[in-house]
């Protein structure tokens, strides 16, 4: 919050939107967390109300003490580098479900990464290059774009892996079925696109 207010004065409402939009992918915060936090920061003398507007709007700025504090935090404390991703963790459990379900899961992941990619690319396009803050927003978004692109490519590779496994399994089942019972009627199999060659080679293989 201090860092964001250092760029320009903002209200709690503005901060909330900022977390949901430009900072999505890095951090998020709800208004229910932001408003009490603003009160605490003001109490501590790190921010102050710069302007009051209509509908009770209060726009906050960092004080000198607040600016000093956020700089101290940036240079003197180590970031918590533990990362948590439910979506990523689920991948390790996909062996528990049917290949068609796993494939569907990855398809949605691909969709998600594709949307993020599009959003971030338009954010970069809409960005100036005048202030240092904009310069660093661009550098940060570059990381996000590369990240989303990489994971999008990974989902495509992984879906290909599933299709290959499935094709292999079907071939075996067909062979066995042909040997055991040529005349019996079987229920139709779930439909998935046929295995395709990858555009992207798996890393480390």
User: Which residues of the shown chain bind DNA in the complex (CB under 7 A)?
Assistant: 11-14, 16, 28-33, 35-36, 38-39, 53-58, 82
Select from 20, 158, 28 the least CA-distant residue to 90.
Answer: 158
**Residue 184 engages a second copy in binding (rule: CB under 8 A):** no
Counting other chains too, the contacts that 72-78 makes at CB distance below 8 Å and 24 or more residues apart are 73/2, 74/3
Minimum separation from the CB atom of position 153 to DNA (A)? 28
**Residue 121 engages a second copy in binding (rule: CB under 8 A):** yes
CB atoms within 10 A of CB 201: 8
> Does residue 137 contact residue 148 with C-beta atoms inside 8 Å?
no
Residues 55-84 vs a second copy: string with x where CB under 8 A?
------------x--xx--xx---xxxxxx
11 binds, among DNA, a second copy, none (CB under 5 to 8 A by kind): DNA
Report residue 202 as tokens: 């798996």
CB atoms within 10 A of CB 84: 6
CA 144 vs CA 20, 68, 119: distances in Å: 15, 28, 10
**Residue 190 engages a second copy in binding (rule: CB under 8 A):** no
81 binds, among a second copy, DNA, none (CB under 5 to 8 A by kind): a second copy
- Binding-site ranges for a second copy (CB under 8 A): 3, 6, 23-28, 67, 70-71, 74-75, 79-97, 101, 105, 112, 121, 124, 131-133, 135-137, 139-140, 142-147, 149-151, 153-154, 157-158, 161, 165, 202-204
């Amino acid at each position: 919050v201090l860092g964001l207010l250092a760029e320009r004065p903002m209200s709690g409402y503005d901060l909330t939107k900022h977390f949901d939009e430009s900072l999505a992918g890095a951090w998020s915060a709800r208004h229910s967390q932001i408003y009490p936090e603003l009160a605490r920061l003001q109490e501590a003398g790190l921010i102050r109300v710069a302007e009051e507007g209509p509908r009770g709007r209060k726009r906050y700025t960092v004080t000198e003490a607040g600016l000093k504090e956020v700089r101290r935090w940036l240079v003197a404390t180590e970031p918590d580098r533990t990362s948590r991703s439910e979506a990523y963790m689920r991948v390790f459990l996909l062996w528990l479900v049917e290949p068609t379900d796993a494939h569907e899961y990855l398809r949605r992941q691909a969709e998600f990464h594709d949307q993020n990619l599009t959003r971030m690319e338009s954010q970069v396009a809409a960005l100036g290059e005048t202030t240092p803050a904009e310069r660093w927003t661009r550098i940060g978004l570059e990381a996000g774009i590369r990240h989303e692109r990489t994971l999008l490519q990974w989902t495509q590779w992984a879906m290909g892996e599933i299709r290959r496994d499935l094709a292999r399994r079907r071939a075996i089942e067909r062979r066995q079925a042909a040997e055991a019972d040529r005349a019996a009627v079987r229920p139709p199999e779930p439909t998935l696109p046929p295995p395709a060659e990858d555009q992207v080679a798996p890393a480390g293989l």
